[in-house]
Structures are given as structure tokens and as C-alpha cells.
Amino acid sequence: MASLDRIRTHGFRRWYERQLIECHAWLLTWFLGLILLVSGLEVAGGGSGSRLAGVSLLLGGLAVTLFSWKRYRLLLDVAEHLGQQAVCPACSAYGKFNVLSSGPAPLPDGGDPVLEDRGGGVWLHAQCRRCGDSWTIR
């Protein structure tokens, strides 16, 4: 719901830009976790005294890598999914809409299972600022 508030107050384009920045920060974290994981492999291959430290680095790197990749994919999937639907069907204006209503539950006619899994069933009823047409973003 915090994302919906940000879309409502700052606009879709700014929200989308921030989502991509946050998403790629998680990708950078994934890369750093991968470096940590490989460093753990190198240290664990050394003498017996450093084996515990190497395994600790390896497990820490693995945890960071898995968590950050999952977070990266989640944020990117939601941003891409909503970004594809942010075009006004009448005038083709991209991202220029006001949120009329929104909800955390799926619409009565069903919804997209990808967004329901990734976005918690969030939907937006949008109205174009250019032509006034309205549509639903799921």
C-alpha cells in the first residue's frame, strides 16, 4: 500500500523511476553477495584454521545472494507489469494518470495471477490527465 500512496502523491513516472533505482540497488547487492560467496570459497580452501571463516563467508554470501536476487526479481516484475499497463488506451499517453481508486484485493472479475502473487492483488483505477479516459491497472 505504500507504493500506491507514492503513486498517488508523486505520480506514476516518479514511482516507476524510484522502483527501478531500488531494483538495481538490489542487483548491485546481489553482485556484492556473489563476491562474498566466491571469497568464502577461496578462504575455505586454505588451511584448517581459516576453514570456519571461509564457510561463514560462503554461507553469508549465499544468503545475501539469494535474498537480493529474489528481491530484485520481485521489484522488477511488479514495475514491469504495472509499467506495461500505464498507457492510456484512448490517447496512448504513458504514465499520465490520476488514481481514482485502488484496492489490495483482486477485482470481482479476477485478476492477473502474477500480480496477485507479486503485488498482493493490488489494482488501480486510473484516469488519464490528457483525455479523461479511465482504465484499470491490475
pLDDT of the residue at 138: 82
Instruction: Report how far residue 7's alpha carbon sits from residue 97's, in angstroms, rounded to the nearest whole number.
Output: 10
Q: pLDDT tens for residues 37-61?
A: 999 998 988 777 788 889 999 999 9
Q: pLDDT tens for residues 79-123?
A: 898 899 999 999 999 999 999 888 765 444 444 454 445 555 678
Q: Measured over all CA atoms, what is the biggest interatomic distance in the chain, rounded to whole angstroms?
A: 71
pTM of the full predicted structure?
0.77
pLDDT of the residue at 2: 65
Instruction: Report how far residue 18's alpha carbon sits from residue 102's, in angstroms, rounded to the nearest whole number.
Output: 20
Cβ atoms < 10 Å from Cβ of 22? 14
Domain span holding position 14: 2-137
Domain count, the chain: 1
Q: What is the pLDDT of the chain when averaged over all its residues?
A: 85
Amino acid residing at 23:
C
Whether residue 3 is predicted with pLDDT greater than 90 in this model: the reply is: no
Choice between 138 and 20, residue whose per-residue pLDDT is larger:
20
Instruction: Report how far residue 20's alpha carbon sits from residue 17's, in angstroms, rounded to the nearest whole number.
Output: 5
SS3 32: helix
Interval 17-37 mean pLDDT: 95
Phi, psi for 126 (deg, rounded to 5): -110, 150
Interval 30-38 mean pLDDT: 96
Contact indicator for 57, 39 with CB cutoff of 8 Å: yes
